[in-house]
């Protein structure tokens, strides 16, 4: 168990460019989450996957954002036509959820990708 990994750790881009981030969850985890954290704030939920299915999206996830989790393993988060307001830390988390278990399992977080849009 090597934990949740994210790549890249840092990304600097110019406004209007597209960027893509990758998250590799803990291998046996079936749930994968994306959060966004801006300076001085707590993380905010963006979206989550159960295996390869994207089950919920926050209203924060505008149509410029798209997330995928092909084959239920790693996930990518793409931002098209980046804006300065997209500058933030993008966090990925994973968990192992049993259907009908009730209490949620612990979400394990990766180190994040810090995006700076110039």
Partner 1 sequence: AQSVTQLGSHVSVSEGALVLLRCNYSSSVPPYLFWYVQYPNQGLQLLLKYTTGATLVKGINGFEAEFKKSETSFHLTKPSAHMSDAAEYFCAVSDYGNNRLAFGKGNQVVVIP
| 2 contributes a contact to partner 1 by CB under 8 A | no
Q: How far is the CB of 16 from partner 1 (least distance, A)?
A: 28
Cα 11 from chain centre: 15
Give the whole-angstrom CA distance, residue 117 versus residue 110: 21
Q: What is the DSSP letter of 80?
A: S
| 33 contributes a contact to partner 1 by CB under 8 A | yes
> How far lies 77's CA from each of 3, 52, 73, 98, 100, in Å?
19, 14, 13, 25, 28
Is residue 4 a contact partner of residue 93, using CB atoms and an 8 Å limit? yes
Letters for 95-114 (x = contact with partner 1 by CB under 8 A, - = none) are: --x----xxx-xxxxxxx--
Letters for 61-90 (x = contact with partner 1 by CB under 8 A, - = none) are: ------------------------------
Q: Binding residues for partner 1, per CB under 8 A?
A: 4, 31, 33, 35, 40-45, 48, 55-56, 58, 91, 93, 97, 102-104, 106-112
């Amino acid at each position: 168990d090597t934990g949740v990994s994210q790549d890249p750790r840092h990304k600097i881009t110019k406004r209007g460019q597209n960027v893509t981030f990758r998250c590799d969850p803990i291998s046996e985890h079936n749930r994968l989450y994306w959060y966004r954290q801006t300076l001085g704030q707590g993380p905010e939920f963006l979206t989550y996957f159960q295996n390869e299915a994207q089950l919920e999206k926050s209203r924060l996830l505008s149509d410029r954002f798209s997330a995928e989790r092909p084959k239920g393993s790693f996930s990518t988060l793409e931002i098209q036509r980046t804006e300065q307001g997209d500058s933030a830390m993008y966090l990925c988390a994973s968990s192992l959820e049993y259907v009908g278990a009730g209490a949620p399992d612990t979400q394990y977080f990766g180190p994040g990708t810090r995006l700076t849009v110039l």
